[in-house]
Amino acid sequence: MSDYLPEKLSQKWEGKLDSILHSVRALWERSKPRRTWFSFGPPERDLRDDEMNAMSAKQALLYRGRLVWGHFARAYFPAYVPGRRTHYGSVVYSEDEPPQDSIFHVAWRVNLLRERQAIPAGAEAAAAAIRNDRSSFNRMKLPPSVGVDGRCYFANICIHRTRLPLGYLHDRCVPILIAPADTEACCIVPLRFWTRELREVWSGGPPAYDPELFRTRLTQHNIEP
């Protein structure tokens, strides 16, 4: 995609990623769901919207998850416009603590695998996955030729509209929960844990994609966002 440029995407986040993540992590640790003797139901109502992951995985994320930045490398296009339906996509994230802006660049390189004829060494699985929008996997480790040093992953994720300030993917960068000791799944952190600064930065600027770009396709294929 010609407009998928890391410089363009990271401009409004410049100098803010570390401080915002620190604040969101602090809020999460103070107020995250706690399992008790009476915790019989799901910790979040919208967990039922995620039909991809087992309840045990979703509970592990909400009860024991750790916050990191995730960056969408792909998503079903109706997720980029206002709507009601739940959609899925794929994010890039790292279990380690690389320079936070590096995730933008990794997602960009993964996205380029759609069109590149010469696949970087070890990136064959990621290239096959991003070229097949129906590919099913939890996550796959990215090789150094595409990712960053350390544990960097390409992972499928449920796009809960209830966890996004505007109800759609206005921005590709989102705080996600991971629980590597319990599950390979990941999820967007519930909206009540987004700090005011995060909401304002995330919702600012132009959308990731102009909704007008999709109007014809939505109508042509009778797709309800």
Confidence of residue 3 (pLDDT cuts 50, 70, 90): very low
List Cβ neighbours of 148 (8 Å cut-off, separation of 6 or more).
Answer: 94, 98, 102, 106
Confidence of residue 10 (pLDDT cuts 50, 70, 90): low
H and E: helices and strands count for the chain: 7, 6
Q: Choose between 15 and 148: higher pLDDT.
A: 15
Question: What are the tens digits of pLDDT across the range 134-188?
Answer: 778 899 999 988 877 789 999 999 999 999 999 999 999 999 999 999 999 999 9
Task: Answer whether residue 6 shows pLDDT above 80.
Answer: no
- H or E stretch covering 141: strand 139-141
78 DSSP 8-state letter: G
List Cβ neighbours of 98 (8 Å cut-off, separation of 6 or more).
Answer: 148, 149, 150, 152
80 DSSP 8-state letter: G
Question: What are the tens digits of pLDDT across the range 204-223?
Answer: 988 888 878 877 878 887 88
Question: Is the Cβ–Cβ distance between 49 and 189 less than 8 Å?
Answer: no
Confidence of residue 2 (pLDDT cuts 50, 70, 90): very low
Task: Answer whether residue 193 shows pLDDT above 90.
Answer: yes
Task: Answer whether residue 20 shows pLDDT above 70.
Answer: yes
Confidence of residue 7 (pLDDT cuts 50, 70, 90): very low
- What integer best gives the mean pLDDT of the chain? 88
Task: Answer whether residue 41 shows pLDDT above 80.
Answer: no
User: How many Å apart are CA 159 and CA 23, to the nearest integer?
Assistant: 22
Question: What are the tens digits of pLDDT across the range 82-138?
Answer: 999 999 999 999 998 877 778 888 888 898 888 867 788 888 999 998 888 777 889
Tokens found for residue 43: 């910790």
Task: Answer whether residue 4 shows pLDDT above 70.
Answer: no
Read off the pLDDT of each residue in 30-41 and give the average, rounded to a whole number. 80
Question: Is the Cβ–Cβ distance between 47 and 163 less than 8 Å?
Answer: no
In the numeric block, the tokens 């019989």 are attached to 40
